[in-house]
Every structure is written in C-alpha cells, then in structure tokens.
Amino acid sequence: MVVLQGSRVILRPLELNDLSFLYVIENDITLWELSQTKTPFSKEILKNYLETSQGDIKDTKQLRLVITSLSNESLGFIDLFDFDAQNNRAGVSIVITAAHRNKGFGKDALKVLMEHSFKTLALHQLYSNILEENTASLRLFESVGFQNVGQKKEWRFFNGSYKNEYLLQYINHVL
C-alpha cells in the first residue's frame, strides 16, 4: 500500500516496529469503552496481529493505518473495518493519543482516509458508530461532512450501564 499524506499527517501501514505503540494504545483502559475491549492484549498477540493483518482489504475486510506527524511521530491509528465490497461501504474508527488531540491531526487523517476510500477503493459510503457522550468525535466526523442519521438507544453496555450510540454516515455522490 502506498503511504498517504495530508497537510499535517501521514497514514502508513503498520510495521513490526509499531508493536510498542500499538501495545500502549490497545491496553489503555480509558479507551476500552470505545473499542469494546475487556481484557489486555499481550505483546505476543499484537505481534501476531502485526504479522498477519496487512493483507488486501478485500480479503481481511479491514485496513488499519498508523497516523504519524510529518516528522514521523506516531499520533494514533485510523481504521476501515467491516469492508463490504458488495455494497461499497466500510466503517471508520480513529484514535489519537491524548497529547495530540484537538490539534487538527484527526481531521486531516480522516480527510485523507476518505479521499483514499472514495478514489482508490471506490467506496460509496463510510460510517461510524460514536457514543452519545463522545462529543469530540461527533464534532470531528461532522466537521468533514458525516451526517448523524440515527440514535441507537442503550446500545452499548460498559461498566454496569447502557449508553446510547449514534450512527454517522458519509455518502459519496460522485461516481
């Protein structure tokens, strides 16, 4: 896969030397509610993931990219998941480290991924599922044109309570 570049970030495939960064992000318990993780990941499990995850999106049904600054500092990850070639759609998720949030990196990464999704992967639409209380993510996705198309009530159960989740979509009308 070609490295993708925006005005503030570079999106690149995962490499084995990303293991430590991936380990930190995946085992950050403050993110588990968002990722629906319930147990920590070992370095061995994540190493196996790194070694096997970089197949063609049509086969793996997902694409995970590292978000780096233009100076190659790792800032987070952005994913396409549930890739559906029949219906030309995929889900999108993004995580930026706490120190780099609200600085425009996420917005640039999302715009770059959207362009790649529509121009190269020929997708018709992208969607994201965002917890109602995650106002920063809601603002981010809406700022690049995603529309909030519905609320799923009491959709997610975490730490003893149910939470509402929104479904946001971006439909590319350019054929």
**Mean pLDDT calculated for residue range 6-22:** 91
**Token output for 12:** 């690149």
- Is the model's pLDDT at 154 over the cut of 80? yes
Q: Among the listed ranges 45-54, 76-85, 127-136, which one has the minimum average pLDDT value? A: 45-54
Residue 26, pLDDT score: 82
What is the average per-residue pLDDT within 5-19? 93
Boundaries of every domain in the chain = 4-171
Mean pLDDT of 32-45: 73
pLDDT at 153 over 70: yes
The pLDDT score that the predictor gives to residue 130 is 96
Q: Hey, what amino acid is at 172?
A: N
pLDDT over 90 (residue 71): yes
Q: What is the pLDDT of residue 85?
A: 93
Taking the C-alpha atoms of residue 167 and residue 149, their distance in angstroms, rounded to an integer, is: 6
Q: What is the pLDDT of residue 46?
A: 76
Look at residue 149 and tell me whether its pLDDT is greater than 70.
yes
Q: Among 3-12, 15-24, 60-69, which range has the highest average pLDDT?
A: 3-12
| Residue 157 CA, distance from chain mean position | 21
> Scanning the structure block, which residue is given the tokens 């190269």?
120
Looking at CATH, the fold of the domain delimited by 4-171 is given as: Aminopeptidase (3.40.630)
Strand pairing of 147-158 and 161-171?
Answer: antiparallel
| pLDDT value for 106 | 97
Q: What is the pTM of this model?
A: 0.89
Strand (E) or helix (H) holding 46: helix 43-52
Whether residue 144 has pLDDT greater than 70 = yes
pLDDT at 67 over 80: yes
How many residues are there in the chain?
175
Interatomic CA distance for residues 130 and 106, integer angstroms: 15
